[in-house]
A and B are shown apart, each in its own frame.
Chain A
Amino acid sequence: MKHLPLKEALFLGFCAALLIITKAAFRWHLGISGHAMFFTAFFLLLARGCVTFRAAASFTGLLAGIAAALLGMGKGGPLVIEKFLLPALAVDLGALLLPWLFGSMLLCALVGAAAGATKFFGTIAIDLLVGMEPAIAWRHSLIEAFAALAFGAVGALGIPPVLRRLRAYGVLLPETRKEPL
């Protein structure tokens, strides 16, 4: 965190705030499971794509999780933090393992899907904590994770065009010359 310039930290903070308001605005209880992962994957990948800091997505996820917990979003209380932190860790890991991630729509979709799939762990933890039958909890978590995986992949597809446009504007440096903003 000490190595992260204030401007970049504030940018990540804004990404977290935008993630929270889009999630809150699309909280419609329409029975479409996992649709919130669309925005989560998008903003986490955007944060990691614009900032060279290795834990940028995790920092964004942590801030978003704390803000969501304070605003009372989600029924898990403080457990809502993991809903943002686990996908964020998946994004950071993906960016670490795949250096060409932000230039390829396929890789972005893959990492977005991986971020969505982390919903499985959060869902099963909460289901088991509230005393749900393990067999039902597994099935429920798998369904939730599959839906989140699909939405995460679709949300991540929007990242490469945006980053390409930002590089064309000169806002971000080309991938070959990665330095802080």
Chain B
Amino acid sequence: MFSTSLRVTQKKRQGTKGRALISAELALLLCFVLSLAAIVERSPTSLAWLTLANVLLLLIHRLDRQVLKRGIRLCLWQGGVVTGLYLLRYGPDAGLMPGLRVSWQLLLVFLPGLILFSGGSASRLAQALSKILPARSAFVLAASLKFLPLLVTEIAAIHEAQRLRGARIRPRDLLWPGNWGDLLHCLVAPVVVRVLEIADNIACAARCREFGRFPGRTCWPGDQENTP
């Protein structure tokens, strides 16, 4: 029964419910171009144009508000750290503007990826990646990037739990190399175990859906609306 319902060929998407306004390939290309431009461009005018382009992409791609909030909070935290480091190294006069500019650039580098990987479904991403990669590798890469926010949440939970146990893994603790052992034993090793567990769960779910039965890319009937 599964094999009859399994879609081996890609068919035209039907209906408009949940339909994205831009194709996965175009979203991937936009992500590449916008992120690259955020790294190459340095002038405030160019960065302002890029910000506008990102806002437009955000509106088109209908990103979940919670994901957006989490992403912006992460970027603001990192922006604060980067600006602080610039101030420490170059002083308030020479360090403030470059620090703020780099923080702004970092936000613009992150944002297209966040929009692409959190806004669209994993199958759309895998479909876009399968144009440039073998189907299996495309699935692996798409699944890894799609589940990355989950992994980051897990890492934060493990970090918090280990800190409550007294592990010396706060950022200021890690300035002292003697505490790096705690980082490896209390954070890295449990994170690797959790990563293996998540990978096992995803692999099990994929096997249940007959992943790998055919050499080309296959998708579940529920995902047919996401294939062009």
Interface stretch, picked from A61-69, A92-100, A114-122, A143-151, is A61-69
Contact string, A150-181, partner B, CB cutoff 8 A, digits 1/0? 00000000100110011001010000000001
Within 8 Å by CB of A13, from B112, B144, B212, lies B144
- A162/B39 in contact, CB under 8 A: no
Interface stretch, picked from B12-20, B57-65, B194-202, is B194-202
Nearest CB in chain B to that of A2: its residue: B136
Interface stretch, picked from A4-12, A82-90, A125-133, A134-142, is A4-12
Known interface pairs A30-B89, A73-B39, A171-B196; A66-B32 also in contact (CB < 8 Å) = no
Could you say which of B102, B113, B134, B196 has the most chain A C-beta atoms within 10 Å of its C-beta?
A: B196
Instruction: List the B side residues contacting A106 at CB < 8 Å.
Output: none
- A165/B109 in contact, CB under 8 A: no
Instruction: List the A side residues contacting B145 at CB < 8 Å.
Output: 17, 67
Q: A28 vs B95: C-alpha distance in the bound complex, in angstroms?
A: 13
Shortest beta-carbon distance from B188 to chain A in Å: 5
Which label, helix, strand, loop or mixed, suits the secondary structure of the A interface? helix
Shortest beta-carbon distance from A40 to chain B in Å: 15
Within 8 Å by CB of A6, from B34, B38, B147, B212, lies B212
Could you say which of A6, A75, A162 has the most chain B C-beta atoms within 10 Å of its C-beta?
A: A6
- B144/A10 in contact, CB under 8 A: yes
Nearest CB in chain A to that of B180: its residue: A158
Within 8 Å by CB of B36, from A28, A77, A169, lies A77
Q: A46 vs B33: C-alpha distance in the bound complex, in angstroms?
A: 31
Within 8 Å by CB of A161, from B102, B132, B185, lies B185
Could you say which of B34, B202, B206 has the most chain A C-beta atoms within 10 Å of its C-beta?
A: B202
Residues in A1-39 with C-beta less than 8 Å from chain B = 1, 5-18, 21, 24-25, 27-30
Which label, helix, strand, loop or mixed, suits the secondary structure of the B interface? helix
Q: A30 vs B184: C-alpha distance in the bound complex, in angstroms?
A: 25
Residues in B107-145 with C-beta less than 8 Å from chain A = 109-110, 112-113, 132-134, 136-137, 140-141, 143-145
Instruction: List the B side residues contacting A73 at CB < 8 Å.
Output: 35, 39, 109
Instruction: List the A side residues contacting B34 at CB < 8 Å.
Output: 72
Instruction: List the A side residues contacting B199 at CB < 8 Å.
Output: 7-8, 10-11, 13-14
Instruction: List the A side residues contacting B167 at CB < 8 Å.
Output: none
Instruction: List the B side residues contacting A161 at CB < 8 Å.
Output: 181, 184-185
Q: A6 vs B181: C-alpha distance in the bound complex, in angstroms?
A: 31
Known interface pairs A5-B203, A14-B199, A66-B132; A158-B189 also in contact (CB < 8 Å) = no
Q: Does A109 contact B (CB under 8 A)?
A: no
Within 8 Å by CB of A166, from B133, B136, B144, B193, lies B193
Using CB atoms and an 8 Å cutoff, list the residues of chain A in contact with chain B.
1, 5-18, 21, 24-25, 27-30, 46, 50, 63, 66-67, 69-75, 77, 158, 161-162, 165-166, 169, 171, 181
30 A-B residue pairs with Cβ-Cβ distance under 8 Å, sorted by A, are A6-B202, A6-B211, A7-B203, A8-B199, A9-B140, A10-B198, A10-B202, A10-B203, A13-B141, A13-B199, A14-B144, A14-B151, A14-B198, A14-B199, A18-B148, A21-B148, A25-B78, A30-B86, A46-B192, A71-B32, A71-B112, A72-B32, A72-B33, A72-B34, A72-B37, A72-B109, A162-B184, A165-B185, A169-B189, A171-B196
Known pairs A9-B137, A166-B189, A169-B193 / 14 extra A-B pairs, C-beta < 8 Å:
A6-B140, A6-B212, A10-B140, A13-B141, A14-B147, A67-B141, A72-B34, A72-B35, A72-B38, A72-B39, A74-B39, A75-B40, A171-B192, A171-B196
